[in-house]
Structure 1
Amino acid sequence: MSRHHAPDDFDAPTGVTVRRTRVSDAAAYARMMDHPDVFPNLLQMPHASEEHWAARLAESTALASAHVQIVAEADGAVVGAAGLHPIGASPRKRHSMILGINVDAAWQGRGVGKLLMHSLCDYADNWLGLLRIELDVFADNRRAQALYERFGFVREGVRRCEALRDGVYVDGWLMARLNPSPLRGFPRD
């Protein structure tokens, strides 16, 4: 991991490592995404299937894919996942990507989310040269918002009635972070 853009008090959780996602992680994705403490805070549907995730991961992990998918792993088990995803096909938005993240219910509050956020912010800033990362978070998910704010994300807007969750329309926040040191090392005249 690089030295840039992590909170000063960041300590990676002991025994947890980060690696690129593989299609063989589909069962772990389905397990995490189907947990009743996880999927309501994401734009996922209940009853996630391994086949669904295998197809999605095959597409997003293909060699030519613009997606960046990583997992956090402890003792050989996937305990969290995150990714950076293109906003669209327009070349005028290549400087931006959307971040998505989830942590296994049993591993929440143990630093896995921080490790994944640190890894993706480092990748975005120092390897992709992104200027902007954006994400959506439910307005009532203060725990996730606090994590994002810790990494420099700020609320840019509210999306009223953004999604249906358990029979109720809930608001969402659009949050974004700009690269704190864009174009480091760029020759200046």
Structure 2
Amino acid sequence: MSDYVIRPVHSDEWEKVKELRMTALRDPVAHLAFLEDPEQAAAQPDEFWQQRAARVAQGRKARQFIAEAGDGRWLGTVTLLVEEAGSTDFFEQVVEREQGHLVGVFVRPEQRGTGLTEKLFEAALEWAWSLEGPALGRVRLIVHEDNARAEAFYQRFGFVATGVVLLTADGDAKEREYVYGRPAL
């Protein structure tokens, strides 16, 4: 039996959303995994964090899942964004199909290797597959070429490399796309 619960974030939990994000951004590989740095995030006003929590707590466009310990401490998180066909993604690429996009993956170091990340991914995928009008056919994620630990986990979980490679903003490194297809009914 686990000593945590996997659940979606509630819109009034912005302070915990902020705390876990700031912790994630201080991780040694954060520069490979996230599109912002701790200084940028710390400079954001409370309203930013309140709006961020509200966006990932309701509606169809995004959902953030957390693992919450019995004492209320958040142990890890993942966010699933819904990308609409024809929209533009973070890399300025046009999205070809309605799909999910996993972002913001973080698990506290002491929880890594315990199965918690798998449970977070399962919750996010279950939510993705439950969406209707239109249903999502796949979920993708992007991983930096130097983030071997994350890439190995994604492959073990069942994500498959598509062969799509994107350049980082500075053009010095590559980001690889992985997808997880919707299970057949």
**Does TM, normalized by the shorter one, top 0.5?**
yes
1:21 is matched with: 9
Partner of 2:165: 158
Deviating more after overlay: 77-86 vs 50-59: 50-59
56, 60, 71: which one pairs with 2:52? Answer: 56
Is structure 2 residue 83 aligned with structure 1 residue 87? yes
Greater CA drift, 44-53 or 114-123? 44-53
- What is the CA–CA distance in structure 2 between the aligned matches of 1:169 and 1:30, rounded to whole Å? 30
Is this contact kept in 1: 2:60–2:82, CA < 8 A? no
TM-score (normalised: structure 1) = 0.73
1:175 paired with 2:175, answer: no
1:9 is matched with none
Asked whether the equivalents of residues 154 and 177 of structure 1 are also in contact (C-alpha less than 8 Å), the reply is yes
Amino acid at match of 1:68: R
| CA shift for structure 1 position 90 | 4.4
Structure 2 spans left out of the alignment, 5+ residues? 88-95
Query: In the superposition, relative to structure 1, how do residues 25 and 81 fare at CA in structure 2: closer, same or farther (>3 Å)?
Result: farther
Question: Is 1:32 equivalent to 2:23 in the alignment?
Answer: no
Q: Is the 8 A contact 1:25 1:78 kept in 2?
A: no
Q: Is the 8 A contact 1:158 1:174 kept in 2?
A: yes
Amino acid at match of 2:30: F
User: What is the percent sequence identity of the aligned residues?
Assistant: 26
TM-score, length-normalised on structure 2? 0.74
Q: For 1:77-156, list aligned pairs within 5 A.
A: 77-88=73-84, 90=86, 93-94=97-98, 96-100=99-103, 101-125=105-129, 127-128=130-131, 129-156=135-162
Conservation of the 8 A alpha-carbon contact between 1:163 and 1:171? no
Q: Distance in 1 between matches of 2:169 and 2:109?
A: 22
Kept after mapping to 2: 8 A contact 1:70/1:83: yes
Given that 2:9 and 2:65 are in contact with CA atoms closer than 8 Å, whether structure 1 keeps it comes out as yes
Higher RCO (CA 8 Å, separation ≥ 6 residues) = 1
Q: Which residue of 2 aligns with 1:7?
A: none
Among residues 62, 66, 86, which one is paired with 1:67 in the alignment?
A: 62
Letter of the 1:113 counterpart: T
Give distance in 2, aligned partners of 1:66 and 1:57.
13
SS in 2 for 1:58: helix
What's the offset of the Cα at 1:121?
A: 2.1
1:44 equivalent to 2:50? Answer no
Q: Mark the runs of 5 or more structure 1 residues left unpaired by the alignment.
A: 1-12, 185-189
SS in 1 for 2:5: strand
**Deviation (angstroms), 1:89:** 6.1
Relative distance call for 1:42 and 1:105 in structure 2 (3 A) is farther
Give RMSD over aligned pairs. 2.6
